[in-house]
Structure 1
Amino acid sequence: MRNAPSNPDLVARKVAGASVEGEAKASTGSQTLLRGLDVIEAMGDGPVTLPDLAVRLGLTRSTTHRLATALIERRYLTFTPRLGYQFGPKLLELGFLAQRQTDIVQVARPHLEELAATTEDTVHLGVLDGERALYLDKIAGRRRVDIRSRVGDRHPLTSTGLGKALLIDHAPENWAVLFAQDQAAGAPAMDYAVWEGRMRAYAQSGHSFDLEENEDLIRCVAAPIRGAGGAIVAAISVSSAAQYMSDDRMADLAQDVRDAAGAVSRELGWSG
């Protein structure tokens, strides 16, 4: 028996109906996903009770409870009686994985290159390594200036701009200890009261200078990079010959260096 010829209009309506139904399901799924993310983000300030969470999200208690329960089952949230919902172990696991997968040199490199191109000066990236500043990356400038630094070098913290940027959040008591150690190890001689006064100004401004303290005729401007928790994890510096680094130009460069450091910080998860 031969099949009856199909009705083209009927087929078209069925296809259109299936398409609309599929789009509706996809839209509902996306909405549920976004609401689930909203629930997680609402935990940022600590445990939240169900009534408060529902108010924050603008949802009914039943919908909020359903979303939170699903997240508990997947270990993204936990629930403590009388306290409410809070971050679960799954988020901690993912946080460690994300941190492990983030290579600060790779993240910072485009910003270093842009800063070097804009300033035409040498740009460094460094981290705290014990009681020294370890240089992880270097972008040479376009000027005929010999900056005698190499990736892998370790420099004094208290006489380099980059090192001082790494110390901005440290307590003055720690500054004094590190300063004394660097002086004993042969760092250029300097009066501590003058140095500490400058460090306090750097801590307030969010950037630091090297005023030919580490190497004659070389000056630099530096700023700290912060990780997701707000702690300083690295620093960026722009270095050049003193003839290109007048006081006015260093003041102008400070904003550019802070902007570059801030951009890297945001890619590392800092939201300050």
Structure 2
Amino acid sequence: MDPSPLGSVDKALLTLDALGHAGATGASLAELAAEVGANKSTLHRTLAALRHRGYAEQTDDGVYRLGPAILALGSSYLAEENLPALLRPALEALRSEVDELVHLGVLAGREVVYLDKIEPQRPVRVWSAVGRRRPASTTALGRALLAAGPLRSDDGTDVPHEAFAAYLVETTTADRLREALAAAHRTGIATETEENEPGIACAAVAVLRAGRPVAAVSITAPVERMTGPAHDARTTALTEVLPRHLPPGLTVARPTAR
């Protein structure tokens, strides 16, 4: 690896990496110095600067750990307005693999908001627009997000009734939603078939950071291209192609059972 153009900044960044590896329990000055490769007096000054800006903190027993300013950086990085640019390479790779309409969405209350879309080369008979909102309970995007987040459970039966009922709309039943969420949790893939557009089906996965959903990505196609081997090829692309192109720290929901 080429040497850093500014050693002091590089040392601070390496220190942040070391604090991240230490986790919530933190690390002593000696442990951090050994990992960073710096003497303790120099590293002490680096840690003092990080503490001053809130990127590190020191406990009463002298252990260092990451500070709250790190959370603000992570939140800014994955802010809704940044997600389309961050995830577009992954969306384009997915579209290239399956040549179907690909959507990116996030949960906004009880609805899904479509943040981005990548059109296929071949026509898809469905209307779609960035900024569109749909009930989360009726879309593959929304079901993927609900199954990985607010309504996460093994089988949908242990979700509090009030929490579950809040997402119900006239066009879906409680039984249908529970079944859809249980399948999404079990397989990692949420689906919807002709519930929003005749002849159109969708499959989606939640995009996770530290186990929490930040967005969802879906493939939308005519029903005949979402059954049998064609369906398997598209869901495989969601679980294998998409993750390879996500930014570091992001992954997709995985099956809990086979």
For Structure 1 versus Structure 2, the TM-score category normalised by the shorter chain is 0.7 to 0.9
| Residue of structure 2 equivalent to 1:70 | 46
Q: Is the 8 A contact 2:57 2:64 kept in 1?
A: yes
Which has the greater radius of gyration? 1
Q: Per the alignment, do residues 243 and 38 of structure 1 end up closer, same or farther by CA in structure 2, a change over 3 Å counting?
A: closer
Equivalenced residue count is 239
In structure 2, the partner of 1:4 is none
CA distance in 2, matches of 1:209, 1:253: 12
Q: Which residue of 2 aligns with 1:141?
A: 120
1:239 matched to 2:249? The reply is no
Kindly indicate whether structure 1 or structure 2 has the higher relative contact order, using CA contacts under 8 Å at least 6 residues apart. 2
Task: Give the conservation status (yes or no) of the 8 Å contact 1:133–1:155.
Answer: yes
Listed one character per residue, the Cα deviations across residues 91-129 of structure 1 (whole Å, up to 9, x for unaligned) are 455445545597111112222222222212111111112
Structure 1 alignment gaps of length 5 or more: 1-22
Structure 2 CA distance for partners of 1:91 and 1:144, relative to 1, 3 Å: closer
Picking from 168, 179, 182, the partner of 2:169 is: 182
The 2-side partners of 1:145 and 1:87 are apart by 48
Q: What is the letter of the counterpart of residue 138 of structure 1?
A: K
1:217 deviates by 1.4
Alignment of 1:100-179 (within 5 A): 103-169=82-148, 170-171=150-151, 172-173=159-160, 176-179=164-167
The answer as to 2:19 corresponding to 1:40 is yes
CA offsets, 1:114-160, max 9 Å, x none?
22222121111111122111111222223333112222211121221
Give me the whole-angstrom Cα distance separating, in 2, the residues matched to 1:93 and 1:236.
Answer: 24
- Aligned residue among 233, 250, 253 for 1:270: 250
TM-score normalized by the length of structure 2: 0.75
SS for the counterpart of 2:237 is helix
Deviation at 1:90, TM superposition (A): 5.0
Verify the 8 A CA contact 2:144 2:181 in the aligned structure 1: no
Structure 1 residue 193 and structure 2 residue 169: aligned?
A: no
TM-score (norm 1): 0.71
Task: Evaluate the alpha carbon distance shift between residue 27 and residue 125 of structure 1 in structure 2; reply closer, same or farther with a 3 A threshold.
Answer: closer
Which structure has the highest helix share of the two?
1
In structure 2, what is the equivalent of residue 220 of structure 1?
202
CA distance in 1, matches of 2:6, 2:180: 57
CA-based RMSD of the aligned residues comes to 3.5
Q: Corresponding residue for 2:255?
A: none
What amino acid is the match of 2:207?
A: I
Inter-partner Cα distance in structure 2 for 1:214 and 1:101: 24
Decide which moves more: 247-256 or 89-98: 89-98
Q: One-letter code of the match for 1:73?
A: A
Paired-residue identity, %: 27
Q: Which moved more, 1:236-245 or 1:91-100?
A: 91-100
